[in-house]
Amino acid sequence: METHFNIQRRLYDYQLALSRTPREFDQAHQCFLALYNSTAHQGLRKERFASPIPLHVLGDSKGRLLTPQELTRKFAHALFVRSTNQYGCVTLHRSHFYVDQGLTRTPVLLWVAGEELRAVYDHVLLAEYTCHYDLRTGTVTRLRLGHWHPSLFAARQAQEVLLERTPQDSVVVVRPPAVRCPTATARSAEQLRLLHTPHSA
């Protein structure tokens, strides 16, 4: 038999999955908490509480409160701030991709949620890409073209310069890892030996 909390949690999983920005996610989470705390709980009925509603039993009790800095530290592993270039593109972990041409040289928030990377600016969803987030290394890999939303920031650019991009116009460019040449240090060491002249007595 499924618990009261699990039923409500599963129902709200769908609502949370529809969230497109951190603000929408927070609003859906607050709605879930309000519903859960104001619905009669079967466990409280069995224990014969005067009111089987968790909010009445717990009152203003709160769990462990965390400071905003601590919350940022715990959740920042999947949030990245990157600045767009003059074409509205950003680079993240060797992948170079388009976000919004209307935002040039502007910091945007890249938010990894499940298998999606979302680009957000001022609580507006700009673009979505499918990706894989490696928890061990903390890097985004296998970034693939997703969906772009109509630019709300196009007016910032001169209309004759701004060309609205389509998914066919841009691709995700992945730079190969940098190869370090170990012979460069060996050569400089050899040159130092050649320049060194022994003192004769």
Locate the domains of the chain by residue range: 4-65, 73-174
Output the pLDDT for position 2: 58
- Over residues 90-136, the pLDDT tens digits come to 999 889 998 888 888 999 999 887 788 989 898 888 889 999 888 88
Output the pLDDT for position 198: 59
Output the pLDDT for position 158: 45
Higher per-residue pLDDT: 190 or 89: 89
- Over residues 141-165, the pLDDT tens digits come to 888 877 777 777 765 554 444 455 5
Sign of the C-alpha dihedral computed for residues 42, 48, 52 and 55 taken in this order: negative
- Over residues 14-27, the pLDDT tens digits come to 888 888 888 888 88
How confident is the model over 5-12, as a mean pLDDT? 76
CA dist 36 and 7 (Å) reads 10
Output the pLDDT for position 167: 52
Output the pLDDT for position 159: 45
Q: 0.75 cut: is pTM over it?
A: no
Output the pLDDT for position 107: 95
Q: Give the pLDDT band of residue 180 (cuts 50, 70, 90).
A: confident
- Over residues 24-46, the pLDDT tens digits come to 888 888 888 888 878 887 777 78
- Over residues 48-61, the pLDDT tens digits come to 877 878 777 777 67
Closest among 61, 60, 41 to 51, alpha carbons compared: 41
CA dist 123 and 24 (Å) reads 9
Output the pLDDT for position 160: 42
CA dist 164 and 200 (Å) reads 74
